[in-house]
């Protein structure tokens, strides 16, 4: 089945042009609507994006904080990317992996090397990985990706732990390939449109399959049709005007909701980072300031309250901290963007882009806990079948937190006992105690039971 593009650029431009600076009463009315947690319309998103008054900006951030707190509480889900290959046939001007870039060394990990990288991540305490590759696979073609997923899930029985959820960020697939991907039991299929602006897209994707805007923008439809109902979408901020991009992102989300009854599970907000051999990455055409970046997170939190927001280690530790409160629900930690990077260390001449946060997992976990957030290693929902529309049915009335809070605490306890440094364990145990004390009696009893089971030696306890 072919799909029409879900993006209507004319409507976006018309919306952006129609909003003259809305007055404070109008902005406050939109913020009030946002607090109802039913989402926002395109025009309202455009109006919020135009605000610059410091007082109103403060109110926007306060509203986003409230919604984040109400829906996600203090949980922050943790994952690590696993780069399996930097081979690529495309020419994305902003990426170090692009085909004609001679500034990096190429490497596709063997299955044995992928297993070794997985062991390292498990020993650090990770339970979720995001498998990432350029768009060109070794001789066996796409089955390289399928085998790699199997390899990651297959690493077991070496000390405490295993990877329980593999999410995937690889190039758009055909419908048949998506069905094969679904059969490997992945969590989320993630794909960023990079820019929804067709002419900008054309100017930065010079060759290879990725030059086809429509093939990429319709990939989430094909994935959903193939039965993958946890989809992650995103924009690479810095290529085109961010106001245009978030309106297009909204159109894409509403399109998926309309067609499939459920929108994306997550939205990612990567910003362009310097990359070896890329002028575009060093000099983003439309740079997004830190203030605007925080604004993007806050607006998305109000516009799509039940969609997870992912913040990667592209950003610095201090900016990441600020965005936790504004709406972020998932973060990567201890990341490497070079294939083999967990064994070999960070290597500029193999990496996709530079990182802003170089701390290891234990430091990030401790920092997050010191800020009062519960680092969650939970993989429960998709393993218990709570995905797609089923997940949203629970999430929308707010019921999901009755599962997420206990699961976050029990997986955090697993981390502390099996992998945490003494300093992290001290901070973490204190946080678990105060969190349990602050819960309603029924929730507390469920959570305490799970935490006690973990303390008694059980693992992977879920509710
Ligand atoms: N090759 C596949 C693709 O392009 O969809 C999947 C993996 S690609 C390595 C993952 C993402 O990295 C891209 O979608 C892009 O948004 C991001 N990326 C590429 N270059 C970047 C840069 N210089 N800074 C930040 N993110 C970048
Ligand atoms: Fe290849 Fe993806 Fe990088 Fe483009 S963004 S060059 S497709 S790895």
Atom 6 of ligand 2 has which residue's CA nearest to it?
A: 98
Which pLDDT does position 387 carry in this prediction? 67
The structure's pTM equals: 0.95
Identify which of 236, 275, 277 to mutate to test ligand 1's pocket (most ligand atoms within 8 A of the CB). Answer: 236
CA of 82 to the centre of ligand 2 (A): 15
* Three-state helix/strand/coil letters over the chain: CCCCCCCCHHHHHHHHHHCCCCCHHHHHHHHHHHHCCCCCCHHHHHHHHCCCCHHHHHHHHHHHHHHHHHHHCCEEEEEEEEEEECCCCCCECCCCCCCCCCCCCCCECCHHHHHHHHHHHHHHCCCEEEEEECCCCCCCCCHHHHHHHHHHHHCCCCCCCCCCEEEEECCCCCHHHHHHHHHCCCCCEEEEEECCCHHHHHHHECCCHHHCHHHHHCHHHHHHHCCCCCEEEEECECCCCHHHHHHHHHHHHHHHHHHHCCCCCEEECCECCCCCCCHHHHCCCCCCCHHHHHHHHHHHHHHCCCCEEEECCCCCHHHHHHHHHHCCCEEECCCCCCCCHHHHCCCCCCCCCCCCCCCCHHHHHHHHHHCCCEEECCCHHHHCCCCHHHHHHHHCCCCCHHHHHHHHHHHHHHHHHHCCCHHHHHHHHHHHHHHHHHCCHHHHHHHHHHHHHHHCCCCCCCC
Atom 13 of ligand 1 has which residue's CA nearest to it?
A: 192
Ligand nearest to the CA of 169: 1
CA of 106 to the centre of ligand 2 (A): 13
Ligand 2 interacting residues, C-beta cut-off 6 A: 88, 90, 92, 95, 97-98, 134-135, 171, 210
CATH topology of domain 69-383: TIM Barrel (3.20.20)
Lowest mean pLDDT among 192-201, 253-262, 347-356, 439-448: 347-356
Average pLDDT in the 233-242 region? Answer: 98
- Distance from C-alpha of 367 to C-alpha of 364, rounded to nearest angstrom: 5
Cβ-in-10-Å burial (0-12, 13-18, 19+) of 232 comes to buried
pLDDT band at 397 (very low <50, low <70, confident <90, very high): low
Say whether pLDDT at 16 is over 80: yes
Average pLDDT in the 145-166 region? Answer: 90
pLDDT in tens, 178-189: 999 999 999 999
Domain ranges of the chain: 69-383, 399-455
CA of 14 to the centre of ligand 1 (A): 30
pLDDT in tens, 301-355: 999 999 999 999 999 999 999 999 999 999 999 999 999 999 988 787 888 888 8
CA of 267 to the centre of ligand 1 (A): 14
Ligand 1 pocket residue status of 171, Cβ below 6 Å: yes
Which pLDDT does position 333 carry in this prediction? 95
Which pLDDT does position 399 carry in this prediction? 61
Share of the chain above pLDDT 70, in %: 95
Which pLDDT does position 3 carry in this prediction? 83
pLDDT band at 157 (very low <50, low <70, confident <90, very high): low
If one compares 348 and 227, the residue with the highest pLDDT of the two is 227
């Amino acid at each position: 089945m072919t799909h029409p593009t879900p993006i209507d650029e004319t409507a976006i431009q018309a919306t952006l042009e129609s909003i003259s600076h809305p007055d404070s009463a109008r902005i406050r009315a939109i913020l009030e609507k946002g607090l109802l947690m039913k989402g926002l319309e395109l025009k309202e998103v455009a109006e919020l994006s135009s605000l610059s008054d410091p007082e109103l900006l403060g109110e926007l951030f306060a509203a986003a904080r409230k919604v984040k707190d109400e829906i996600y509480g203090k949980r922050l889900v943790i994952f690590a990317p696993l780069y399996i290959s930097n081979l690529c046939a495309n020419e994305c001007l902003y990426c170090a992996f692009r085909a004609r870039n001679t500034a990096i060394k190429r490497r596709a990990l063997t299955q044995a090397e992928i297993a070794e990288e997985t062991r390292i991540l498990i020993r650090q305490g990770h339970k979720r990985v995001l498998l990432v590759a350029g768009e060109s696979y070794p001789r066996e073609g796409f089955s390289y990706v399928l085998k790699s997923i199997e390899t990651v899930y297959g690493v077991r029985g070496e000390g405490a732990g295993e990877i329980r959820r593999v999410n995937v960020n690889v190039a758009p697939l055909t419908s048949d390939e998506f069905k094969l991907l679904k059969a490997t039991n992945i969590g989320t299929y993630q794909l960023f449109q990079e820019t929804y602006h067709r002419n900008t897209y054309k100017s930065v994707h010079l060759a290879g399959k990725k030059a086809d805007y429509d093939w990429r923008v319709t990939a989430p439809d094909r994935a959903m049709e193939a039965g993958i109902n946890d989809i992650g979408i995103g924009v690479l901020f810095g290529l085109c005007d961010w106001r245009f991009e978030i309106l297009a992102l909204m159109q894409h989300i509403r399109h998926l909701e309309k067609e499939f009854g459920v929108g994306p599970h997550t939205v990612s907000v990567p910003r362009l980072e310097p990359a070896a051999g890329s002028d575009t990455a060093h000099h983003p055409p439309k740079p997004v300031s830190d203030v605007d970046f925080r604004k993007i997170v806050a607006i998305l939190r109000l516009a799509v309250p039940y969609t997870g927001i992912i913040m990667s280690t592209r950003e610095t530790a201090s900016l990441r901290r600020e965005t936790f409160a504004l709406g972020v629900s998932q973060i990567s930690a201890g990341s490497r963007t070079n294939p083999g990077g967990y064994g070999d260390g960070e290597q500029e001449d193999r990496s996709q882009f530079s990182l802003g946060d170089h701390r290891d997992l234990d430091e990030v976990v401790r920092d997050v806990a010191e800020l009062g957030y519960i680092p969650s290693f939970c993989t429960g929902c998709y393993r218990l079948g709570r995905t797609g529309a089923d997940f949203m049915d629970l999430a929308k009335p707010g019921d999901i937190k009755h599962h997420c809070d206990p699961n976050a605490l029990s997986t955090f306890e697993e981390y502390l006992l099996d992998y945490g440094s003494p300093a992290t364990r001290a901070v973490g145990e204190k946080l678990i105690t105060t969190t349990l004390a602050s819960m309603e009696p029924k929730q507390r009893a469920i959570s305490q039971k799970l935490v006690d089971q973990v303390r008694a030696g059980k693992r992977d306890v879920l509710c």
